[in-house]
Structure 1
Amino acid sequence: MYKSLERTMTTERLMLRPFELSDAQRVFEYCNNYNLYKSTLNLPYPYSLECALSWIKTHEENFIHNLFYEFAVADRITNELYGAIGISHNQQYRLGELGYWMGEEHWGNGYATEAARAVLDFAFQEKNYNKVYARYFATNIGSGRVMEKIGMVREGVLLEHIYKEDRFEDLVHYGILAPKI
């Protein structure tokens, strides 16, 4: 469960908050990592400080216009940045795609799962989504485990859907519907 304070959410261990320009250096350090790049759909590599700054600058406008909600995943006490989580908002169909990344040094600590649960609650309770979906490369089984732990159901596989690094990648598609009252 999470507690929401406008654009900041807290969980047991985490604070999901808007990114600040002062986070750009850490975003650059985390994202300029080949291991992170190879398991993400849209992250460029190499990743520059300018990429981090321009990406952070898009968040406010996207949030205001209810297009995309991007949150820094940080330690609730120390505010140390661990990664990012976001969800798109297709208002016409009341659904969105969940996406996340954690700095490699924070993999395996359950932060993505904890943050994803909070974002699901935000999507269903505050933004009235009917469905949230997510996709991952079949080779990134850790991301699939996060989706399963938050109650998402495997809906199918998009075979050889993405061409990356001179090979085709399968995308595994998961989804979850809003709880019915």
Structure 2
Amino acid sequence: MIYCKNEKSIETDNLLLRLFKESDAEDVCHLCNNYNLYKNTLYLPYPYSIEDALSWIKSHLENFNNNKKFEFAITDKITGNLYGAIALTNNQNVNNGEIAYWVGEKYWGNGYATEAAKSILEFAFIEKQYHKVFARHFSSNPASGKVIQKIGMKKEGVLREHVMKENRYEDLVYYGIFKHEANYLCN
């Protein structure tokens, strides 16, 4: 992982994580206006409009500059194609953060979420000096859990029927990793 502070970007072997631009709104709308993505995410609206995308993108730079939330577009390092998004939210009270991500359905199964998530962990622990990072997923979305496990997070528990999605209760499965457990990131 190479973090470029001036550009607010992260480069990995195959990806460039960068701030979203207004010009990404159409691609974001195209990727997010997908029922299968919606049903696996906590906050994504459906249907998803261009206005949703523009409103979401509008706050990214300010959040980044204020150390509140670091929201990156997951893009191909060579072509620039947008695959999805990954965010690290800062809980400043305890120096912990939460990773959240989505990848457009047509790009599922290519390892983009795992590669992006590993680089965000490095960013959290090396650049931001976080103590702990956590992530969560619906129990009905085990693929997201596999991404979380692949980056070394340990299951911490399940909040049973914790949220309502489409008129039914969903369990939230929580994972976490401490900085001292993530020494593999520096190799």
TM over 0.5: yes
- So what's the TM-score if we normalise by structure 1? 0.98
Alignment of 1:121-160 (within 5 A): 121-160=122-161
Partner deviation per Cα, 1:19-75 (whole Å, 9 max, x = no partner): 010000000001110000000001011111000001001101100110000000000
Residue number in structure 1 paired with 2:72: 71
Gaps of 5+ in 2: none
| Cross-structure match for 1:54 | 55
Structure 1: runs of 5+ lacking an equivalent = none
- Tell me, yes or no, if structure 1 residue 3 matches structure 2 residue 15: no
Describe how 1:9-28 pairs up with structure 2 within 5 A. 9-28=10-29
In structure 2, what residue type is equivalent to 1:25? E
Amino acid of the structure 2 residue aligned with 1:44? P
2:167 matched residue in structure 1: 166
> Distance in 2 between the 1:92 and 1:167 partners?
33
1:166 & 1:125 partners in 2: Cα distance? Answer: 41
Q: Percent identity?
A: 57
Work out the CA distance in 1 between the residues paired with 2:93 and 2:128: 12
Q: Distance in 2 between matches of 1:179 and 1:147?
A: 17
Question: What amino acid does structure 2 have at the position aligned with 1:151?
Answer: G
Structure 2 counterpart of 1:37, which letter? Y
| TM-score in terms of structure 2 length | 0.95
What is the distance in 1 between the residues matched to 2:27 and 2:19? Answer: 14
Residue correspondences, number? 180
Question: Segments of 4+ in structure 1 off by > 2 A?
Answer: none
Backbone CA RMSD of aligned residues: 0.9
Indicate the SS of the match to 2:91: coil
